[in-house]
Structure 1
Amino acid sequence: MRRDSGEVALRGEGIRRGRHKQDPCIIGVDIGTTGCRSTVFDSEGNILASQGAEYPIIYLPGGGAEQDPEVIFSQMLAVIKASIEEAKISPSSVAALSLSSVFHSLIALDGKGRPLTRAIIWLDTRSTQYAEKIRGEPISRRLYENTGCPITPAYPFSKILWMKNKLPQVYKKTDKFVSIKAYLTFKLTGQLLVDQSVASGSGLLNIHRLNWDEDTLTFLELPRGKLSQPVDPTTKLGPIAPQYARQMGISSSTSLIVGCGDGVLANLGSGAVERNSMAVMIGTSGATRVVIEEPKLDKNERARTWCYYLADRHWVCGAAVNSGGNVYRWFRDQFCRDEDEVSSLGRTGYEILNEYAAQIGIGSEGLIFLPYLSEERSPYWNPQARGVFFGLSLHHTKKHLARGVLEGISFCIYSLIQLVEEVAGKTDELRATGGFTRSSLWIKILADICGREILIPQVSEATAFGAFILAKRALGQLENIKEGKKLVKIRELYKPNLAHQKKYAQLFRIYKRIYKDLETGFAEMAKFRTTSQIE
């Protein structure tokens, strides 16, 4: 289906469900930031069932953001069981579980594999002072060139340094530092391993050799033995512990594919696996990514992009922002509670906000929103940046603000598109993934800002579908991961309105100028916040 820029209709998930079969099935399990989802696919990639569950983020003073790994584990077991029950398949018909998870999490384990900490996630900024100090030193460039990861608070590299200084007793007791996915697979199989994909998003793995980086370990004074063994993402683990296999409703002999990080699997699941194709994601956060056949790094001294491993000697060059759907959710929760109450009548607060935004013209009648509510990563890497409504006047209403939020996040994503193309080369197509694909208006806004067509894959759960494709590769059903593109079908195509693009080009220049003009103010306000906390 093709949608031109004039359409504003809302869509649901658009998931196509196949017939219930007893043929071998593959379950893609996506462990996300705010919840997990289990999707059952038949051998052709049709969805038989999909079930999800949420879990909380525990926010702590000073920028802490953690999650309980046991809660995540129990929710994962529950959604797998629920999806199998929905699909009405037998335990023996599940050929494999294929895992996807968020990048950048860190859990400290003792010598018996018991957590000494909760999972410290990518949103945690308590290591900011250490990351900023190292970014100003000459060694930061060498570490970036080795690992593909800029020095930022998001990465386990910085979190380990923070823990060593702020939680020295925990650090001393730590036998292993692991990711949330490594902990889940350890619980399921007793094997303490980490896939090279998730490891490549730690700031600790050499992106060229696909093993722990000696320069980084030496700098941190971190013994290699405190890290688990990196393995290929197509590695099959097992057997699964019988008690957990029963809870999930599968056989303990089911293959457990160790899998990849969620972002790179979204490329695989959306079909953005060629050099000319870019995946654009807005979920909790936002990112743009291109698959490449060798590591590619930013030559700019600020190291604005990252490079992670996918599989089959393919890497992903990308850039990410903290400001995505979480910002729209913040706006809904703080300013639109009355609208969200309408959900009891069959419509969500998001749907109503989208309708509000659709009633307002481009630029929200002189209003621009900087969406930096949780510091910011690419392209500025500025932990002091904060959110701003610029141009606010007495005539502006909630409807204008709703439109401004969607446009501000989209400007932020557009800056990433430009940045990744600067590093990895020009692309011909954009493929959209993430929760924002449920909003026709939001995709239209982004298409108009970019002046580019945007393709929407038929399976909205691109990460889970990527896990499915990876499992087929692990099971020997595909020669390479790029063959998986033939399984990806396109549901819709959004074409830009070129007249709208001209207006947005002017607004984007203003957006960038506002940020530059406020850099000094951001720094001064950060100093004020720090002083106020001390007092």
Structure 2
Amino acid sequence: MKAYYIGVDIGTTSTKSVLFSLDGNERFKYSIEYPLFTSIDGTAEQNPEEVFQAVFHTIQACVHYANQENILIRAISFSSAMHSLILVDHRNQPITNLMTWADTRSSKWATNLKESDTGKELYQQTGTPIHTMTPLSKLIWLKNERPKWFEQAHKFISIKEYILFELFGEYVIDYATAGATGLMNLNTLTWDKRALSLVEVDEHRLSTIVPTTYLLPPMKESFRNALGLSPDTSYIIGASDGVLSNLGVNAIQDGVVALTIGTSGAIRTVVSEPTTEENGSIFCYPLTTNNWVIGGPVNNGGVILRWLKELFECDYETLNALAKNVPPGADRLFFHPYLTGERAPIWNSDAKGSFFGLTLNHGKPHITRAVMEGVIFNLYTVMTKLKPFMKEPKCIRASGGFANSPLWCQMVADIFQMRVEIPSSIESSSYGAVLLAGYALGDIHTFERNDTMDEAMKVFCPNNHNVREYEKLFPMYEKIQNQLTPLHTEHAHI
């Protein structure tokens, strides 16, 4: 009987469990969304129990399908969004809600640390840019502005650790998720003593760091029975969604770049050793001790198109049709997509969006095209930061909801001047988790694979005319970006 695996992807807005074979055959998937609670003070939280229930019920749906189809579930492996933080008591009961990467209440403390020598040294040691997204910054904020919560906490954990403790009774965190906290030393793969001293947290209040291939203990019997799982099923800790996306789209060779645009977005590539940048503008997280993912995350991906869809009261198909009728460059209309602040490339949570070059001759089609191009220009800016640290870029492997838009994919090919490949399954983080499980269990012996037989793969090649237009436009986009960047914080504090 052919073995299948469940990849569980615990995301910012939903959890998705997908039933895969190791060769990428996607048999079944099930997802559950949950709300994000936001407020004007920068709060961006979720109820951790709602997320746990989503994980439980999506796995249950996959198991139910597998049992009906007489499919053997060999293992379950976990992917998770990065930078989350929950404070829990001795019974693993939350003292706080789940603080997501989008929570900006620690912005002041992050800015102060980033501008200090300590912040610069910590970035070099941890590979995590100093920013309000990180648990490092959130812990400093909690210690100073929510001291009662800070003192009450038995453990400071991510949503992944919360779920794994509930299911398996063990506080462990994988290399990749720990790497994104800003608290792990890149060279030793242990908690960084200087970071812990800064936040005044002892190691016993954090989980044990383990490899991404770590085999979890047997699931608690009550949960295993409720899920309908076999006692023979194995459980692999997995990694963070970003590094697993590279694995899932087969972007682990030299020069292959992974691009993801979901609600947010990211550019990532794999290098063979820990790599940081002088100005702290790129991240470096481990997948394994031989595979290090460097890149930059952006806040503003598909969320921008959703904003435009609601503003224009139309659907995505209409937006694509509008933009398609406008030539590249939207008649010199530029859009900087910082509607939710920004991480890479400018790392400024005070940033705001802007149009430049707007005239009476511009209408909805121009605005739509400028918005779509602005998201890609912004990601290309991140790519320019990566180029000095990688082999010559040769192709892009793309995933995320944007891959359903041929127009947007073509913009990527034209602006990046690279071939863009869309694998048949865009559930890259879930599939990456499955591949990691197969590797951990010895079912596969290398991450590299030949997927040229993926007949459903979509390919977009650069259009020479469009490339020439974007070559003229990008320097202006970047110049405007550089001029506006110092003004964002000043504007925020008027």
Fold in common (TM above 0.5): yes
The structure 2 residue matched to 1:314, chosen from 281, 291, 294, is: 291
Percent identity between the two aligned chains: 37
Following superposition of structure 1 onto structure 2, how do residues 335-346 of structure 1 map, counting pairs within 5 Å?
335-337=311-313, 339=314
Name the structure 1 match of 2:253.
274
The structure 1 residue matched to 2:59, chosen from 80, 103, 114, is: 80
| Distance in 2, Cα, partners of 1:351 & 1:280 | 22
Conserved in 2, the CA contact under 8 Å of 1:44 and 1:487? no
Name the SS of the counterpart of 2:75 in structure 1: strand
The structure 1 residue matched to 2:481, chosen from 515, 518, 522, is: 515
Deviations 1:280-336 (A, max 9, x none): 11111111111111101113xx21111001025311111111111111112212x13
Name the structure 2 match of 1:455.
421
Name the structure 1 match of 2:388.
422
Gaps of 5+ in 1: 1-21, 340-348, 529-535
The structure 2 residue matched to 1:483, chosen from 448, 456, 460, is: 448
The structure 1 residue matched to 2:463, chosen from 483, 497, 507, is: 497
Conserved in 2, the CA contact under 8 Å of 1:49 and 1:84? no
Tell me the C-alpha RMSD between the 2 structures: 1.8
Conserved in 2, the CA contact under 8 Å of 1:478 and 1:484? no
The structure 1 residue matched to 2:306, chosen from 329, 335, 344, is: 329
Name the structure 2 match of 1:213.
192
The question of 1:135 aligning with 2:117 is answered no
Name the structure 2 match of 1:369.
335
Deviations 1:27-51 (A, max 9, x none): 1111111111111113533111111
Name the SS of the counterpart of 1:211 in structure 2: coil
Following superposition of structure 1 onto structure 2, how do residues 291-310 of structure 1 map, counting pairs within 5 Å?
291-299=270-278, 302-310=279-287
Name the structure 2 match of 1:532.
none
Name the SS of the counterpart of 1:206 in structure 2: coil
User: Which AA in structure 1 matches 2:11?
Assistant: G
Name the structure 2 match of 1:230.
209
Conserved in 1, the CA contact under 8 Å of 2:9 and 2:430? yes
1:61 Cα deviation from its structure 2 partner: 3.0
| Distance in 2, Cα, partners of 1:463 & 1:89 | 25
Name the structure 1 match of 2:243.
264
The structure 2 residue matched to 1:436, chosen from 402, 409, 413, is: 402
Deviations 1:466-485 (A, max 9, x none): 111101011111223x2356
Following superposition of structure 1 onto structure 2, how do residues 196-211 of structure 1 map, counting pairs within 5 Å?
196-211=175-190
User: Which AA in structure 1 matches 2:384?
Assistant: Q
The structure 2 residue matched to 1:177, chosen from 156, 163, 167, is: 156
User: Which AA in structure 2 matches 1:507?
Assistant: L
Distance 1:503 1:487, change over 3 A: closer
| Distance in 2, Cα, partners of 1:188 & 1:447 | 43
Matched positions, count: 493
Name the structure 2 match of 1:42.
21
Following superposition of structure 1 onto structure 2, how do residues 84-103 of structure 1 map, counting pairs within 5 Å?
84-89=63-68, 93-103=72-82
| Distance in 2, Cα, partners of 1:286 & 1:225 | 34
Distance 1:196 1:488, change over 3 A: farther
| Distance in 1, Cα, partners of 2:154 & 2:453 | 42
Name the SS of the counterpart of 2:132 in structure 1: coil
| Distance in 1, Cα, partners of 2:468 & 2:71 | 57
User: Which AA in structure 1 matches 2:409?
Assistant: I
User: Which AA in structure 1 matches 2:299?
Assistant: N
1:188 Cα deviation from its structure 2 partner: 0.6
Name the structure 2 match of 1:125.
104
| Distance in 1, Cα, partners of 2:244 & 2:453 | 13
1:245 Cα deviation from its structure 2 partner: 2.2
Conserved in 2, the CA contact under 8 Å of 1:91 and 1:251? no
Gaps of 5+ in 2: none
Conserved in 2, the CA contact under 8 Å of 1:161 and 1:220? yes
1:96 Cα deviation from its structure 2 partner: 0.7
1:176 Cα deviation from its structure 2 partner: 0.6
Name the structure 1 match of 2:36.
57
Conserved in 2, the CA contact under 8 Å of 1:296 and 1:424? no
| Distance in 2, Cα, partners of 1:361 & 1:60 | 39
Name the SS of the counterpart of 2:329 in structure 1: helix
| Distance in 2, Cα, partners of 1:36 & 1:392 | 39
Conserved in 2, the CA contact under 8 Å of 1:151 and 1:158? yes
| Distance in 2, Cα, partners of 1:509 & 1:43 | 43
1:23 Cα deviation from its structure 2 partner: 3.0
Distance 1:446 1:483, change over 3 A: closer
Identify the range of structure 1 (262-271 vs 72-81) with the bigger mean alpha-carbon deviation.
72-81
Deviations 1:197-256 (A, max 9, x none): 100110001111111011111222211111010111111113112332233332355211
Distance 1:185 1:485, change over 3 A: farther
Deviations 1:91-110 (A, max 9, x none): 88211111000010001111
Name the structure 2 match of 1:345.
none
